[in-house]
Structure 1
Amino acid sequence: MDYTHLGRTGLKVSRVALGTMNFGELTDETASFAIMNEALEAGVNFFDTADVYGGPQSPDMAKGFGTSEEIIGRWLAQDGTRRDRIVLATKVYQPMGTGPNDKYLSAYHIRRACEASLKRLKTDHIDLYQMHHIDRATPWEEIWQAMEQLIREGKITYVGSSNFAGWDIATAQMTAASRNLAGLASEQSLYNLTQRTIELEVIPALRHFGIGLIPWSPIGMGLLGGVLHKISEGRRATPGLQAQIERKRPQLEAYEGLCRELGEAPSDVALAWLLHNPAVTSVISGPRTVEQLRQNLKAPSLKLSDETLAKLDEIWPGPGGEAPQAYAW
């Protein structure tokens, strides 16, 4: 396994991160334990979860919330050496109850959510505490005050963001600097060959501030995982995915054809493309099975030629570069 620094920090994480969103919902505890065992054995040291993972992420369907963290906590408790072998990341923001303060990024909710995550994870500290979404109703001074207090108490070490716009990142960093804080270490964004909008402003902002990029949905909710081949074998796609397949069928045919020429699995090519970007720290693998994890772990060793990268750009064109050059003279 290859490792790299998490953004500008001194912390090193594996190029493939284990995403645990499926734990407790699509993957039971026994299978989840097997996946974590396999990941640790393979050298994956970056485990990512969220307080809301483990059930439908809806305030009206709270059943299952926290289950992913609880599964990880029980796995960590099996072997006291495991905690010091991983970089543990979780998130705060999503509704964890029906009360008016059971969500978002008030200092009140951040404190309570962190304490609850620590309890579920059966640990005394979180290595990377990530804001799951932007909360523009809460002042940055309040957010950083809450994070600073958690750092001071030793409950969290680094702070990250997820689903932030470029100007949110800049605002967060400037406010943190005014408080003599390091600010954000990482940003999780939707980024894959089919979704390249963040190339306009988010990636330039991350590069400017030295913040690591952790793409989520790296294979486009399954679109880039050889979906046409799977359908030809008789597998059925969900209605939502089927609609996307029909809209993107010419691109998918070209993409899977290129992967066949390369002799590589489409999912590996999708992950390898992301890892060729200097802004990317790690890609999140969210396997439902051990076999899926093993497949994803091949990506860091796959080197794509300049010619292949150019062909991928032709099939899945980006927004045209960075803003404003992408749309202005």
Structure 2
Amino acid sequence: MQYTYLGKSGLKVSRLCLGTMNFGWTTEEPEAFRIMDAALDAGINFFDTANQYALGRTEEIIGRWFKQGGGRRERTVLATKVYNDMHDDHDGPNREAGLSAYKIRRHLEGSLRRLQTDHIELYQMHHIDRNASWDELWNAFEIAAVQGKIGYVGSSNFAGWDIAVAQGEAKARGLLGLVSEQHKYNLLCRLPELEVLPASRSLGLGILPWSPLDGGLLAGAPSGGTARRSGDAARVERHRPQLEAFAELCGELGEREDIVALAWLLANPAVTAPVIGVRTLEQFERSLRAAELKLDEPALKRLDEIFPGPGGDAPRAYAW
């Protein structure tokens, strides 16, 4: 397993990040334990979760896994998120999705309790909340950092200008600011190349692509199959020519489609680690091949032809 720095921080993370969204939903606890053990054995030290996943059950599963000891917590760079409604009636009107100093404090304590740990390496805002000022946000995160409860702050689903504003406000306060942006990015979703990726690279954020296989659409043959979620038939038909060309290219390369899709992300210098949201140990073990595969220039060019991006950074992509 290869490692890289998380954005402009001095923290080293694996080039693949284990996504845990399925734990407690489609993946039962014993299988989740096996996946997390296999991840550490494979050298993956970066785990991502969120307080909202399975309404807290996912964090609880990870916490019980940590509780087994064996250096599991010490070897894990842990990331979780805050923003969503956790359906806690004690929050009253503040239970709604958003960010506030009140919510950050309460939800951080809830995550720490469920995860059975006293700190979180990367605390991420799951979405932007334009009702919360950066004065309030950076003050809340600074307090949590001084208390030793969080190490770094990240964002998720931010626009390029949100990232720029956040970093400008952090710099004015003498703070490190954001170190990562978790964003939907894959061969079928290349819009972030216009502004989010350039802004992140310029301002010191590592990109953590979520849905790197576009919900399974990039994981199998165009005719569908077990890798694809039910209800994706219309999307498969819409992208059938691309998916068929992609399958043909992968056949020529002698690699599985999901592995090529992940390797394409890893070839982008803006990407720190794709978040691989596996459901089974078999899926996890198969995905490890992506960290080894190096796509050559002809393969990357073919992928650009099959899945055209926006044409580069803004504004050059549309102004020339």
* TM-score, normalised via structure 2 length: 0.97
| 2:53 aligned residue | 53
Specify the SS of the correspondent of 2:7.
Answer: coil
Deviation string for 1:26-73 (max 9, x for gaps)?
Answer: 10101100100110111110000000002xxxxxxxxxx000000000
Q: Are residues 1:307 and 2:284 paired?
A: no
Specify the SS of the correspondent of 1:27.
Answer: coil
Q: Are residues 1:84 and 2:78 paired?
A: no
| 1:60 aligned residue | none
| 1:67 aligned residue | 57
| 1:27 aligned residue | 27
CA gap of 1:96–1:69, structure 2 versus 1, over 3 A, is same
| 1:151 aligned residue | 145
Shift of 1:210: 1.3
| 1:215 aligned residue | 209
Counterpart residue type for residue 3 of structure 1: Y
Shift of 1:229: 5.7
| 1:61 aligned residue | none
Shift of 1:226: 1.2
Shift of 1:194: 0.2
| 1:100 aligned residue | 93
Of 123, 127, 132, the match for 1:138: 132
- In 2: Cα distance, 1:25 partner to 1:227 partner: 25
Counterpart residue type for residue 29 of structure 1: E
Counterpart residue type for residue 210 of structure 2: W
- In 1: Cα distance, 2:127 partner to 2:241 partner: 33
After the TM superposition, which segments of 4 or more aligned residues of structure 1 sit over 2 Å from their partners?
A: 227-231, 235-240
| 1:109 aligned residue | 103
- In 1: Cα distance, 2:227 partner to 2:135 partner: 49
Shift of 1:239: 5.0
CA gap of 1:290–1:257, structure 2 versus 1, over 3 A, is same
Specify the SS of the correspondent of 1:85.
Answer: coil
- In 2: Cα distance, 1:170 partner to 1:238 partner: 35
| 1:41 aligned residue | 41
| 2:177 aligned residue | 183
Alignment of 1:128-277 (within 5 A): 128-228=122-222, 230-231=224-225, 235=226, 238=229, 240-277=231-268
Shift of 1:237: 5.2
Counterpart residue type for residue 228 of structure 1: P
- In 1: Cα distance, 2:230 partner to 2:117 partner: 40
Shift of 1:240: 3.0
Deviation string for 1:209-261 (max 9, x for gaps)?
Answer: 11100000001110110142654xxx595553111000000000000110001
Of 272, 275, 280, the match for 2:271: 280
Shift of 1:152: 0.5
Percent identity, aligned pairs only, is 60
Counterpart residue type for residue 34 of structure 1: R
Shift of 1:173: 0.3
Deviation string for 1:122-149 (max 9, x for gaps)?
Answer: 0000000000001011101101110000
Specify the SS of the correspondent of 1:69.
Answer: helix
- In 1: Cα distance, 2:126 partner to 2:170 partner: 18
- In 2: Cα distance, 1:13 partner to 1:238 partner: 30
Q: Is the contact made by 2:208 and 2:271 (CA closer than 8 Å) also made in structure 1? A: yes
Unaligned runs of 5+ in 2: none
Unaligned runs of 5+ in 1: 55-64
- In 2: Cα distance, 1:138 partner to 1:315 partner: 41
Q: RMSD of the alignment, in Å?
A: 1.2
- In 1: Cα distance, 2:201 partner to 2:227 partner: 40
- In 2: Cα distance, 1:25 partner to 1:301 partner: 30
CA gap of 1:113–1:177, structure 2 versus 1, over 3 A, is same
Counterpart residue type for residue 93 of structure 2: P
